[in-house]
Structure 1
């Protein structure tokens, strides 16, 4: 996020700068910070060692991103618009990604 803030084109579409961080997608970007800590914390404690628990941990991290994004977008557009355009269109694809990552993660752990 710091790289994008100082002007490096690291955000979607090669964008950068403060307007991206305070714009409609800013909450989602900020949500990645605590979600990575949450996922790492839970995984280090062995809560993501099988497909089911990996799915739960990944779901919690994803929900955190959505919460930050939804709250920020709600402040800009109202809660109905935020849900309609910032949450609802992504629910199915996120579920699919969570299922896929839960299976793939099983091969990433050292045995």
Structure 2
């Protein structure tokens, strides 16, 4: 039991690092202060593979690293300024996103179909948090905030949700069969 918990904490830290690495896959958009990043894919993978508790913990570790100044956010940014700036709502939204994705697959089953549904719900949560904060932080109208913070991310967000689900379930099955993580979370 103790070794299993230690193993899960190590994997949780590994996923915090994976989120930080994929955050650097960043494509700036000329009409939005929010870039397209690999963070959302990493969040989906973490929650799909680790479940609600450890998936959410990996996101919290990632955010704490960034908050204390480690350059883990998109564009090698770090510090509290990133959390209160225009993209801060997306970053904070990753916490409930990871929890809901993990909770959904734990509740309904670790299948590709359920993981796709969970990751699409997670995408909506991230976009809702991010857009609401973007409106406030950048002093935008709702229509401008939605145009800059939701519309450009919908299609690619669905692609990343499906990818996180398919890869996440496959990796989870392999880790469980290799006894590197419990079959239930």
Name the TM-score class by shorter chain. 0.7 to 0.9
Is the CA contact (8 Å cut-off) linking 2:69 and 2:78 kept in structure 1?
yes
Is the CA contact (8 Å cut-off) linking 1:48 and 1:57 kept in structure 2?
no
Residue aligned with 2:98, SS = helix
Q: Distance in 2 between matches of 1:3 and 1:88?
A: 29
Q: Distance in 1 between matches of 2:80 and 2:141?
A: 22
Number of equivalent positions: 110
* TM score, norm. by length of structure 2: 0.55
**Greater per-residue strand proportion:** 2
Which blocks of at least 5 consecutive residues in structure 1 are unaligned?
none
* TM score, norm. by length of structure 1: 0.87
Q: Distance in 1 between matches of 2:67 and 2:163?
A: 32
Which blocks of at least 5 consecutive residues in structure 2 are unaligned?
1-62, 178-185
Residue aligned with 2:78, SS = coil
Equivalent position of 2:47 in the other structure? none
Deviations 1:36-71 (A, max 9, x none): 1111222222x2432221111111111111110011
- Tell me whether 1:56 sits opposite 2:117 in the alignment: yes
- Tell me whether 1:67 sits opposite 2:128 in the alignment: yes
Is the CA contact (8 Å cut-off) linking 2:87 and 2:130 kept in structure 1?
yes
Describe how 1:13-52 pairs up with structure 2 within 5 A.
13-45=75-107, 47-52=108-113
1:106 deviation in Å?
A: 3.2
Return the match for 1:100 from 160, 163, 183: 163
Q: Note the aligned Cα RMSD (angstroms).
A: 1.6
Is the CA contact (8 Å cut-off) linking 2:66 and 2:72 kept in structure 1?
yes
Q: Distance in 2 between matches of 1:83 and 1:53?
A: 27
